[in-house]
A and B are shown apart, each in its own frame.
Chain A
Amino acid sequence: MPDHVLTLQGLTKVFSTDRGPITAVDKVDFDVRGDEFFTMLGPSGCGKTTTLRMIAGLETSTAGKILFNDEDFTRFSAFRRNIGMVFQSYALFPHMTLFENAAYGLRIRGLDNDLIKKKVAEILALLGLDELAERYPADLSGGQQQRVSIARALVYEPGMLLLDEPLANLDAKLRVDMREEIRRIQKELGIMSIYVTHDQEEAMSVSDRLAVFNLGQLMQAGHPEEVYADPTSLFVADFIGKANFFPAHVTNRDGTGAKVSLNSGQELALSRLVEVRESEKADIVDGYDATLMVRPEHVEIGQPGKGEIDCHVRRIQFLGSFIRYIGKCSDATQEVIVDSPRAVPGIEEGSEASVTIHPADARLFHKGDGS
């Protein structure tokens, strides 16, 4: 398998509407290599699907370039790009059998009949559909239809596979099974895949790398654990996983670190500021009002007065492998969430408590950034 490279350079899409131009995708840059499973993640209307459709050629870009193996793809017609695509609605051809659906791309490429039969049989076997070849799409379950659309997209060995929220129409259990299945096949065939979803758990679990979009902009791209642990914006911190936010006043900026004081008057020494975007790092000077972010597993809950911030425990959820404490706290902009591996004695719903922050895992952001 050749080592394909897809490169997006300053890709931009502006839709003209009755209410004036709307920038759906704003100067997006990223590249995807080899057999990477790359996911575009974000809330609806963030530009991820438009970006995917521009890669597919179903939408023309307003500015920027799409390169595939250094060849400029930007102005190619969609049907000449040799891409495979799986749609949310599956978009199977309802008047063709499962076999004919899968054979469609091969017939266009003018393969002879025996070769088509062989290749379709191979791909159907790979997806466990061999028994159903003569059925029509209407006779298949949602999961089976999704497999057919994957078979149809892969059979002609496209340069890359695009998946537009392919699991959105399946029920919860099947969704988990299918995403593992998609990843298994993708790795088996070694095909570059670009996946679009708004479900962050799905994105985290299947992707080699993911890109978080908001308001048409690429906010951050990286390995899932990296994006989770070191978000570079408040938006990403809030969108990926759970997070606690506290107002913090910078008292002592020092090289790569800083001292901040919380509203309660407690001081915290933060060792690193590297996660903040380079351009914004300079703004964090003494006297600056910032926002402190810390994940629920990096805070501890204890008796009142023990930690930095007092809170009132509103709700305790037993979530299997851990216990989640949800509290209301006068110092935080939102509810405070504490995930603890075991129950903390003496803390009950309705009781007063206090929260301790691990400074090493806390991050400092511009106030109101990214939301």
Chain B
Amino acid sequence: MSDAVTATVDARGPKKGIDWFPYVVAILSGIILVVFLAYPIGKTTLYSFVLLDDDLTFGNLTLANFRNFIEVPLYTDALQNSITIAAWTTVATVVLALPAAYAVARIDIPYRTFLLTFSIIPLIAPPFIGAYSWIILFGNQGMIRRYFDILFGIDIPTIYGPFGIVLALSLHYFPFVFLFTQGALAASDPFIEESAHIMGAPRSRIMCSITFPLVIPAIGAGAVLVFVRTLGNFGVPAVLGKEYMVLTTLMVYQVNGYFNLNAASAIALANVALTLIAVFFLARIQRRRRFITVTSTTRAAKRHTGRGAKIAGNAYVWSLFILAVMPQIIVLFYSFAERWAGSLWPQRMGWGNYHHVLTELTEPIFNSIFLAGGATLLAVFFGTLAAYISQRKQFFGKWLLDMTIMLPFIMPGIITGVAFLTTFNTGILILTGTASIIMLAYFVRRLAYIFRAVSAAISQVDNKIDEASTICGAAWGYTMRRVTIPLVAPGMLAGGILVFSTLIIELSITIMVYSADWQTMSVLMFEQLLDDQIEYATATGSIAIILTISLVFAASRLVGKSMADMFR
């Protein structure tokens, strides 16, 4: 009975020799990482130490670009402003989010699942569009300012400046703190609180001495994420800042105004330094407070049942979230206003703006989809391979691979943009003005997202399953194709959709590397805003928001997670 099997076994070629395939794939991935990640970041770092128009030689190294931060008021102010904005935004998001997180976790809130889904809308929507809706309300010609002027004759202050930036960014980013904290509260062990209760502690005491201290790492993670994102945000300070400059707007100013890439690199490095300090701080919090409080128990912690607590909790949570999506609702409303000049209400409503956007501006929309799609495919391919290698192989210098890939994760997008512009503008590989520079910058920026998603998926799959396939006689490629990839496919796909949905509205990188031939939806919106074509900008923005929400929804169905969990 064994003849047939034995014959085919023998026909499978020589038994000796190495399966080269995994090594070839690993080396290829390594080259991609070096050329498009390590090289640009390294070159940008070096560039910041030479002056504009100087060659990159040892003798030309100088700290002049950094001396600006001490000597030039424009730089000093931008640095101070960035820190101020980031610090206030972080404080504001924590203050806004903590009561909401506690209420959602510990008070009966009707339509809770809906609320959690709702909470990611501010995160998905492009922040500069949200910022613009504040101009619609409180700008020079803002709706509410006009109402107050017409109805009561009161001149209320405009939204421009640091207060407006902090307001817009806080409402945009607070869901990070909210989702992290709420998740930690929901997962914490109810028995810990109960044992405190049995020992005689009143609720308020339990909240201060047990509940919140235990979720400090989650709050810290959310807060640091907000700090880092705020530092890297370009759109909001660009729309609301006017003369109030921060590091990101200064960077764009140096590039678009003077094409001074060396100065921009130095600003980028300063920005990264601030980011690293924040990340280091987070690591400290998390190391000092590493508790295991998450439990597999299905029992939820005891909820407040008092009428007063319920009313207060519901009122707070719902008003906060309605306020947070208000910018998007205003954008949506404005997108239907065909004519609205100097009156309380639009003169004409209809689909005209959409008609205009979809017929005359199809190219930027197509460009966005093409560039984001290509970058997503690249990121899924290399992100998956890198995640596989990092999770499943032991080799020297593995930490270097992990660190290189995760670098853009903590680096603001605009810095990736500067790095690509600096690196591929001259030298061996000139990509400036092409589609590939945008696509590759997107790819590098989002690689870490796929890497993380797929790493998590792979760590869920028992290594023994791969080994079982090997033992059955499958070479590495066959095992990958038939076993490993099919098992992590949902994670890859969900990660891919999420990346795609964030890339079609990407502004920070795009503003640096785009060219006239490759205008994207986000750049188009931004220019429409600057040109005061608000009705078109809002229509484009609405399309982008709805497209993004649908994609995230599809991704969440695919992995069977709630939409809120996709962001935790």
Q: A79-B474, A156-B473 are in contact. Are A109 and B9 (CB under 8 A)?
A: yes
- Between A and B, 7 residue pairs with Cβ closer than 8 Å are A77-B19, A79-B474, A80-B15, A91-B465, A93-B468, A94-B465, A153-B471
Partner of A108, one of B4, B19, B474: B474
Q: Is the CB of A91 within 8 A of B478?
A: no
Name the B residues within 8 Å of A94 (CB-CB).
465, 487
Residues of chain A contacted by B473 (CB below 8 angstroms): 79-80, 82, 105, 108-109, 156
The reply on A95 being an interface residue by CB < 8 A is: yes
Task: Determine whether A117 belongs to the interface, using a CB cutoff of 8 Å to chain B.
Answer: no
Q: Does B472 count as interface, using CB distance less than 8 angstroms?
A: yes
A91 touching B9 in the complex, CB below 8 Å, given contacts A76-B15, A77-B19: no
Do A78 and B470 contact each other (CB < 8 Å), given the known contacts A87-B464, A106-B5? yes
CB of B154 closer than 8 Å to a CB of A? no
The docked-state distance in angstroms from the alpha carbon of A88 to that of B378 is 37
* Alpha-carbon distance between A153 and B483 when the two chains are bound, in angstroms: 16
Contact B470 A157 (CB under 8 A): no
Judged by DSSP, the binding face of A is loop
**Residue contact A104 to B472, C-beta cutoff 8 Å:** yes
Cβ-based interface call for A58 (8 A): yes
Q: How far, in whole Å, are A79 and B470 apart by their CA atoms in the complex?
A: 5
By Cβ-Cβ distance, the 10 closest A-B pairs, closest first, are A91-B464, A105-B472, A91-B468, A109-B8, A85-B471, A108-B473, A80-B15, A157-B2, A91-B465, A87-B464
Query: Quick check: B16 and A75 within 8 Å, CB to CB?
Result: yes
Question: How distant is A86 from chain B, measured CB to nearest CB, in Å?
Answer: 9
Q: Of A80, A89, A157, which is within 8 A of B462 by CB?
A: A89
CB within 8 Å of A: which B128-186 residues: none
Let me know if B16 and A56 touch, CB within 8 A: no
User: Quick check: is A110 within 8 A (CB to CB) of the other chain?
Assistant: yes
Which residues of A have CB within 8 Å of B487? Answer: 94-95
As a 0/1 sequence over residues 469 to 508 of chain B, the CB contacts with chain A under 8 angstroms (1 = contact) are 1111111001000110011000000000000000000000
Q: Is B6 an interface residue (CB 8 A)?
A: yes
> Nearest-CB distance from A264 to chain B (Å)?
53
**Inter-chain contacts of B5 with A (CB < 8 A):** 106, 109, 111, 119, 156-157
Q: Is there an interface contact between A85 and B468, defined as CB atoms closer than 8 Å?
A: yes
| Assembled-state Cα–Cα distance A56/B8 (Å) | 20
Q: How far is the CB of B58 from chain A (nearest CB, A)?
A: 38
A83: interface (CB < 8 Å): yes
B471 and A83 within 8 A (CB): yes
Chain A contacts of B2 at CB under 8 A?
A: 157
Residue A198 at the chain B interface, CB threshold 8 Å: no
Q: What 0/1 readout, one digit per residue, does chain A (139-154) give for beta carbons within 8 Å of chain B?
A: 0000000000100110
The reply to whether the CB of A47 lies closer than 8 angstroms to some CB of chain B is no
- A77 to B5, alpha carbons, bound, how many Å? 19
The docked-state distance in angstroms from the alpha carbon of A370 to that of B264 is 69
- A93 and B485 CA atoms in complex are apart in Å by 12
Q: Are A77 and B472 in contact (CB under 8 A)?
A: no
Q: Which residue of A lies closest to B10 (CB)?
A: A82
Contact A108 B468 (CB under 8 A): no
Give A229 Cβ to nearest chain B Cβ, in Å: 36
Interface string of B239-277 (1 = CB under 8 A from A): 000000000000000000000000000000000000000
B12 sits at the interface (CB 8 A): yes
Q: Which residues of A contact B462 (CB under 8 A)?
A: 89, 91
Does B18 make an interface contact (CB < 8 A)? yes
Is B472 touching A156 in the complex (CB atoms < 8 A)?
yes
Residues of chain B within 8 A (CB-CB) of A91 are 462, 464-465, 467-468
Q: Is the CB of A108 within 8 A of B478?
A: yes
Q: How does the 8 Å CB contact mask read for B10-28 relative to A, with 1 for contact and 0 for none?
A: 0110011111000000000
Chain B nearest CB from A289 CB (Å) reads 47
B16 near A95 with CB under 8 A, answer no
Q: Does A79 contact B475, Cβ atoms closer than 8 Å? A: yes
Using A76-B16, A108-B473, A108-B474 as known contacts, say yes or no to A82 and B9 having CB atoms under 8 A apart.
yes
- Other A-B contacts than A85-B467, A108-B474, 6 sampled, CB-CB below 8 A, are A79-B470, A81-B15, A87-B467, A104-B474, A153-B471, A157-B5
Whole-angstrom distance from the CB of B492 to the nearest CB of chain A? 14
Chain B residue nearest to A73 in the complex (CB): B15
**Given A82-B473, A93-B483, A111-B5, A77:B465 Cβ within 8 A:** no
Residues of A contacting B6 in the complex (Cβ-Cβ under 8 angstroms): 157
Contact indicator A110/B470 (Cβ below 8 Å): no
Q: Given the complex, which residues of A lie within 8 Å of B4, measured CB to CB?
A: 111, 115
**A42 at interface, CB cutoff 8 A:** no
Q: Which of A87-137 contact B (CB under 8 A)?
A: 87-89, 91-95, 104-106, 108-111, 115, 119
Q: Which of A58, A80, A95, A157 contacts B467 (CB 8 A)?
A: A58
| Distance from B320 Cβ to chain A, minimum over Cβ atoms (Å) | 41
**Residues from chain A with Cβ under 8 Å of B471 in the complex:** 56-58, 78-79, 81, 83-85, 153, 162
Q: Which of A78, A83, A88 has the most CB of B within 10 A?
A: A78
Chain B residues with Cβ under 8 A from A156's Cβ?
5, 9, 472-473
* Alpha-carbon separation in the docked complex, A95 to B487 (Å): 7
CB neighbours (8 Å) of B9 from chain A are 82, 109, 156
A87 touches B8 (CB 8 A): no
Partner of B18, one of A77, A82, A88, A108: A77
Indicate if the CB atoms of B8 and A110 lie closer than 8 Å: yes
Closest residue on chain B to residue A85 by CB atoms: B471
Closest-by-CB residue of B relative to A87 is B464
A343 to B453, CA, bound (A): 66
B470 close to A58 (CB less than 8 A): yes
- Tell me, in angstroms, the Cα distance from A81 to B19 when the chains sit together: 13
Q: Complex formed: what's the CA distance from A153 to B472 in Å?
A: 7
Residues 286-337 (chain B) with a chain A CB within 8 angstroms: none
Contacts of B475 in A (CB 8 A): 77, 79
A111 to B467, CA, bound (A): 22
Most chain A beta carbons < 10 A, residue from B4, B9, B471: B471
Min CB distance A154 to B, Å, is 11
